[in-house]
Structure 1
């Protein structure tokens, strides 16, 4: 009888040296920019994108610069971001503060890989959540980064969660990661944006995710059908990439997916929100 786990382990030993992917000793790395602007409660422009570790390629830089210039996001969620070891001046020209949470070190490329969140103001708090379980073959965990930001003219703060959910594992391990995120998110009183690559390539995974976000009072950004069709899928699967939110008003005309981007197999998601106290009274 064919044993898929044994087959995966054999491939791992054959093609992936055990010393290549190492656990990072740092939970987060951050950089504050000299220019600081509170998130504007009347307009919070969000970009979410799995960039497939391509941020050192010229094509990705060209795509990213074009997006920044045209859409001017205030909050950026990037998944599968590479950060060279010892390098902290990455994207210095971005004029934004950023936080990075690595899930492993690639010894071959001398770089971290992980989650990158940038904003027009420094985060008040940050926390990385690493999965207890590992994906097969390269035996690495997945990471989520939770950051909190001040909002202009408001006592409320915005909680931002940038996530990449575990793949190629059984549903129970997928549930465990989401449960850990649910516990962390549920403690926040105020507006929330929960975004990233959720690897919801099956109906079962999508249903599990829907139950968690519904319990948290989060709703998905409403991409109209012709925009939604551009989001990364596997055949007829649900979308892999999502932006969820709570206690914010969505500016629906701004919810778009940039399809003329070729530096990653995922397309960037863009949305715009506003926050007012009257929404929550």
Structure 2
């Protein structure tokens, strides 16, 4: 599964890179919308794993992904790196992965990645530079056909900018992403690492989420990654019902993965 070598990949926020078993990695343009007869799930259930995988630095990271590969509809990952191990995982499980590379080092790209069993009918990528260190964070919106063929499932995956003076850049990144959700008619999942470590960031996030009528997934045992006492990882949704939601304790990353089973309403 070759890796694309292109400056266009790194600096054009409108491009997504797709990795697919048996195919060369390729750039996906934002206006490249395709009709698909293949629904993302053959039932009314959608299961997701949301996880900042810490650049796959820890030994058990790939083992945990293997554990959930076949019983989750979507893997919504942050800090995913296109290492041989992750690319082999995509290939061996016949998955399709869309990534928005935030940056590259030695031809290994890092950024948010959404992995499914089928290709999305549309993918749009976004990047926002960290105000202090100037390394971008990325976000990705993918749309998938669902069983009724009348609507699509929109999935938004974000790794929010981290340390900044004030809320300007943080607000800008969240708003740009949410603008893609406002006009969508159908179920929505918005998930990722929101870096909501301050009271101001958390209040802003909640306010913007309420404006577009998304609900927040809560957990009976909340062991999400926190910083300064506030959770960083969230799942928001619309036009879905929660069947179950839990967090898995692991040492395979500095974040614990979130598992949610939805029913499409």
Q: Which band: TM-score by shorter chain?
A: 0.7 to 0.9
Q: CA RMSD in A?
A: 2.3
* Matched ranges for 1:169-248 at <5 A: 169-170=164-165, 171-224=167-220, 227-228=221-222, 230-237=223-230, 239-248=231-240
Asked if the contact 1:255–1:271 (Cα under 8 Å) also holds between the matched residues in 2, the reply is yes
Asked if the contact 1:175–1:208 (Cα under 8 Å) also holds between the matched residues in 2, the reply is yes
Q: Distance in 1 between matches of 2:198 and 2:263?
A: 32
Q: Does 1:249 align with 2:230?
A: no
Asked if the contact 1:220–1:242 (Cα under 8 Å) also holds between the matched residues in 2, the reply is yes
Q: What residue ranges of structure 2 are gaps of 5+ in the alignment?
A: 1-7, 23-37
* Matched ranges for 1:54-69 at <5 A: 54=56, 58-68=59-69
* Matched ranges for 1:72-111 at <5 A: 72-84=71-83, 91-106=90-105, 109-111=106-108
Normalised to the residue count of structure 2, the TM-score between the two structures is: 0.83
Q: Does 1:47 align with 2:60?
A: no
Q: Distance in 2 between matches of 1:236 and 1:89?
A: 37
Q: Does 1:126 align with 2:123?
A: yes
Shift of 1:235: 4.2
Asked if the contact 1:77–1:118 (Cα under 8 Å) also holds between the matched residues in 2, the reply is yes
Match of 1:3 in 2: none
Residues 95 and 52 of structure 1: is their aligned pair in 2 closer, same or farther, counting only changes over 3 Å? same
Which of 5, 30, 38 is 2:18 aligned to? Answer: 30
Q: C-alpha offsets along residues 50-100 of structure 1, whole Å, 9 cap, x if unaligned?
A: 001016x5421122222336xx11011000011159x96552112222111
Match of 1:155 in 2: 150
Counterpart secondary structure, 1:155: coil
Asked if the contact 1:150–1:158 (Cα under 8 Å) also holds between the matched residues in 2, the reply is yes
Q: Distance in 2 between matches of 1:191 and 1:146?
A: 13
Match of 1:16 in 2: none
Q: Distance in 1 between matches of 2:101 and 2:73?
A: 22
Larger CA Rg, structure 1 vs 2: 1
Q: Distance in 1 between matches of 2:43 and 2:110?
A: 31
Q: Distance in 2 between matches of 1:125 and 1:78?
A: 18
The structure whose residues are more often helix, as a share, is 1
Counterpart secondary structure, 1:168: coil
Q: Distance in 1 between matches of 2:229 and 2:104?
A: 34
